[in-house]
Amino acid sequence: MREFDIIVVGGGHAGIEAACAASNMGCSVGFITMDKLAMGRMSCNPAIGGTAKGHLVREIDALGGMMGIIADRTGIQFRMLNKSKGPAVWSPRCQSDRKLYSEEAYSVVSNTKNLEIVEASVVDIIAEGKKVKGVITATGEQIQCSALVLSSGTFLNGLMHTGLNSVRGGRFGENPAIGITQSLINMGFESGRLKTGTPPRLKKNTINWNILEEQPGDEIPQPFSYQTDINNFPHLPQMSCYITYTDETVHKVLEKGFDESPMFTGRIKGVGPRYCPSIEDKIVRFADKNKHQLFLEPEGLDSDQIYLNGFSTSLPAEIQIEALHKIKGLEEVEMVRPGYAVEYDFFPPSQVDLTLETKLIEGLYFAGQINGTSGYEEAAAQGIVAGINAALKIQGKPEFVLKRSEAYIGVLIDDLVTKSTYEPYRMFTSRAEHRLLLRQDNADRRLMKYGHQFGLIDDKLIEKLSTREDIITKSVKLFENMKLHARNINPFLESKGSSGIDSAETISKLCKRPELTLKEIIGLNGTEQNPVVSSLIADEKALEQVEIELKYEGYIKRQFDMVDRLERYEATKIPLTFDFLTMKALSTEGREKLNKIKPRSIGQASRISGVTPSDISILLVYLKN
């Protein structure tokens, strides 16, 4: 009988991070997947990152995860989104080569020490005395473990819909996972049903590219991973995406298929993603809009398939192709494969703790779409946290929980556990109340210390970070005191359309002017000859950090002050064994919600829907006494 410290079930993005983190921390890991060559396969859009999602990838990388590394090696277009806005919402994104991404994921996993890939389908979970003991595969094999991470994606009782046709499966051409849901229900877990979808794939050489709007990548692309050598980046040739639009003619064609839409006929029971609706859902929900933007995105360097982002649908195939032929540039397009919707089982995440360990079964962790999230990045973020915590549990070490003020990953998991979800959860920058502190550019400064502590980040990277931190600290202090005189800077200010100064002004204050850049300012009057400044100029990342800190100093300080005020609530801990049901002074709803979520702190308790300020006051008095 095979036995591992930790078993990870599911070869998607959550599973990869969980398995690699746990094995790199020294645990023996059995990584169970139905098809090892499908590892990291992108079920939907072949892209990594995007608004807020790019923040998650940078944080995963700072913790020692794999997603950023794999994305950098297989990206065919890199863009920094929202550059016209403030740095809090700048978000890296890359278009990936679908085939190469999966191949690179398999290469990374198969070369990870302490890890064995097991090709099998899990049908049952073994638990004794509310503690996980292992799994049973479809062949009847029992594999034992001390901790188990379930990251089964859309495969739990997966059902795919196109029009009135339904096929069992978790992804095109792949079988569903049968048995796990019932096993968990038998243990006492509550399950639900969600839906996601994917658009049709189009044949590349049947598209009229000449009349479409081109969307190239950045001229100087930035990698996701702190371990990627910028001098040897990007690794692959870069490609453009293209933009087109639907119109009212397209909408009328699509409406003809509503009678056979599995969404509108009730065949689909699962709840779909609010923020990534199907094209038919857009037409109904946004009836006032006469067009919707679509992105034509390449699936790979050698692929003849194009992904039509924004056109997710489960309408009949014949309706899909008729509508496509009404879209600018797609008049003669051939559809390689129609879009489809997939329904799958999930388990409302109020049933897991902030470590992602389930509250019912010790040693059992949920990560990814099983917790009700959508997106590769949200899944991977949960995967690395679950993998780290499973390893720490095996090793008898303290658990790992990220706070909302520390990371988007902390926001993601706190939202899932505290607020739960009954629809696919997607990360947005607006979900983070401290987003100016949680920028994608400073993920290393926030989180790399944890990755190093767990043995997932090497000493060389930490030394490089420490050197950069020293440069940043000295530079900020220098520029708060170093002044430039009016006679030396006014001509420059005039050339930039900026008002002049009367006597002298610190570099720090001058930098706050939106029309000025720090690099321009310190290039004046020999300032760059200062040893601190010359060190700063030599490190572009440090220069970027200093400029952001100076420009947004007031806003950043206010956010730190807010964190400090809220920390009092977060620091007031609630014992995990606390029995809320015995506290009759609490509101009835408050007792029920608190008992269900079992918050770890007053701060977490205050974010639970249905828990009133009065309930919090009563809890504070009770805990104080």
Q: What is the pLDDT of residue 265?
A: 67
pTM score, two decimals? Answer: 0.94
Boundary (domain end) residue, out of 338, 359, 382: 338
In a domain, 99, yes or no: yes
How far is 432 from 552, CA to CA, in rounded Å? 17
Mean pLDDT of the chain: 93
- Range list of β-strands (E), 240-299: 241-245, 293-298
In a domain, 560, yes or no: no
Contact (Cβ atoms closer than 8 angstroms) between residue 61 and residue 224: yes
pLDDT in tens, 176-224: 888 999 999 999 999 999 988 899 999 999 999 999 999 999 999 999 9
Question: Would you say how long the chain is, in residues?
Answer: 625
In a domain, 259, yes or no: yes
Q: Half-sphere exposure of 261 toward its Cβ, with a 13 Å CA cutoff?
A: 20
Q: What is the mean pLDDT of residues 306-311?
A: 96
CATH number of the domain bearing residue 186: 3.50.50.60
Q: What is the pLDDT of residue 510?
A: 94
In a domain, 558, yes or no: no
Q: What is the pLDDT of residue 576?
A: 83
Confidence of residue 264 (pLDDT cuts 50, 70, 90): low
- Range list of β-strands (E), 262-386: 293-298, 305-309, 335-337, 340-346, 364-366
Q: Percent of the chain, pLDDT > 90?
A: 76
Q: What is the pLDDT of residue 365?
A: 98
Confidence of residue 151 (pLDDT cuts 50, 70, 90): very high
Domains in the chain, number: 4
Q: What is the pLDDT of residue 487?
A: 87
| Better pLDDT: 288 or 377 | 377
The yes-or-no verdict on residue 172 having pLDDT over 80 is no
In a domain, 566, yes or no: no
Q: In this structure, are 8 and 109 located in the same domain?
A: yes
The yes-or-no verdict on residue 625 having pLDDT over 80 is no
Q: In this structure, are 372 and 432 located in the same domain?
A: yes
pLDDT in tens, 19-76: 999 999 999 999 999 999 999 999 889 999 999 999 999 999 999 999 999 999 999 9
CATH number of the domain bearing residue 241: 2.40.30.260
pLDDT in tens, 367-400: 999 999 999 999 999 999 999 999 999 999 999 9
DSSP 555-623: HHHHHHHHHHHHHHHHHSB--TT--GGG-TTS-HHHHHHHHHH--SBHHHHHTSTT--HHHHHHHHHHH
Q: In this structure, are 518 and 422 located in the same domain?
A: no
Q: In this structure, are 47 and 36 located in the same domain?
A: yes
Task: Name 205's Cβ contacts closer than 8 Å, sequence gap at least 6.
Answer: 304
CATH number of the domain bearing residue 617: 1.10.150.570
- 3-state DSSP percent of the chain in helix, strand and coil, to 5: 40, 20, 40
Q: What is the pLDDT of residue 261?
A: 76
Q: In this structure, are 25 and 62 located in the same domain?
A: yes
Q: In this structure, are 281 and 314 located in the same domain?
A: yes
Boundary (domain end) residue, out of 293, 315, 338: 338
In a domain, 193, yes or no: yes
Boundary (domain end) residue, out of 433, 453, 473: 453
In a domain, 565, yes or no: no
In a domain, 567, yes or no: no
Q: In this structure, are 322 and 371 located in the same domain?
A: no
The label of the residue with tokens 């991973």 reads 225
Q: What's the DSSP call for residue 273? A: P
How far is 167 from 73, CA to CA, in rounded Å? 34
CATH number of the domain bearing residue 533: 1.10.10.1800
How far is 56 from 445, CA to CA, in rounded Å? 14
Any idea which of 292-306, 373-387, 396-410, 607-621 has the lowest mean pLDDT?
A: 607-621
The yes-or-no verdict on residue 230 having pLDDT over 80 is yes
Q: What is the mean pLDDT of residues 150-159?
A: 89
Contact (Cβ atoms closer than 8 angstroms) between residue 215 and residue 387: no
Show the domain range for 293: 201-338
- How many other CB atoms are there within 10 angstroms of residue 564's CB atom? 10
How far is 170 from 173, CA to CA, in rounded Å? 8
Q: In this structure, are 178 and 299 located in the same domain?
A: no
Q: Percent of the chain, pLDDT > 70?
A: 98
How far is 142 from 132, CA to CA, in rounded Å? 13
Q: In this structure, are 15 and 158 located in the same domain?
A: yes
The yes-or-no verdict on residue 287 having pLDDT over 70 is yes
Q: In this structure, are 468 and 441 located in the same domain?
A: no
Which of 148, 151, 37 minimizes the C-alpha distance to 102? 37
Q: In this structure, are 471 and 354 located in the same domain?
A: no
Confidence of residue 434 (pLDDT cuts 50, 70, 90): very high
How far is 500 from 491, CA to CA, in rounded Å? 8
Please give the single-letter amino acid code of residue 339. G
The yes-or-no verdict on residue 460 having pLDDT over 90 is yes
Most confident of 97-106, 337-346, 582-591: 97-106
Q: In this structure, are 474 and 398 located in the same domain?
A: no
pLDDT in tens, 97-116: 999 999 999 999 999 999 99
Any idea which of 24-38, 204-218, 226-240, 527-541 has the lowest mean pLDDT?
A: 527-541
